[in-house]
Structures are given as structure tokens and as C-alpha cells.
Amino acid sequence: MLKISFDMAENKCLHTAVTQPKKVYINTLGAFYIAPAHDRCSRVKIRTQKSRELLAYLLEHREDVSRERIFADL
């Protein structure tokens, strides 16, 4: 798919390739892990425990969350 827009300041067309979003499977019951939607057995490696905790937190709190609230909660 190709997205075409026009830059008024530069007076030219801009062409941008648009890719389809990749789908993932997120398991939150039991062990928390992420896997490609097409292969749920192939888990994505998340480097640190803090990264896993932050991702799980952001999935749980989908509204706008301030950095201070995240620090206080984690």
C-alpha cells in the first residue's frame, strides 16, 4: 500500500510506504509472554524483568498514565 500526501511548503508530492501492522498474541493469564499471532509457541524475548513489568502495567492501564504514577506503582 502507498500513502500519497502533498507538502504545501515544498510544493511536492510525498510517497510513503504503509505497512500492515503486525499482530501479536499476549498471554496475561499465568506466565506473561508475547508471541507472534501466527506462532504462539515462539515467544518474543523481553530483555529484562522491569521491561516485562512495564509492558504488563501499560496493558492493564490503557488510559493516559503519567511517568510519576508509573514510578509510584512499580
For residue 45, tell me if it sits in a domain: yes
User: How much is the pLDDT for 11?
Assistant: 59
For residue 13, tell me if it sits in a domain: no
Model pLDDT for residues 7-49, shown as the tens digit of each residue: 656 656 565 655 667 788 998 888 888 998 888 888 888 889 8
User: How much is the pLDDT for 56?
Assistant: 87
Number of domains in the chain: 1
For residue 61, tell me if it sits in a domain: yes
DSSP symbols for the chain? -EEEEEETTTTEEEEEE-PPPPPEEEE-SSS-EEEETT-TTSPPP-S-HHHHHHHHHHHH--S---HHHHHHH-
For residue 27, tell me if it sits in a domain: yes
For residue 26, tell me if it sits in a domain: yes
For residue 64, tell me if it sits in a domain: yes
Q: Give the structural domain span for 61.
A: 21-73
* Mean pLDDT computed over 3-9: 58
Model pLDDT for residues 45-70, shown as the tens digit of each residue: 888 988 888 888 888 888 888 888 88
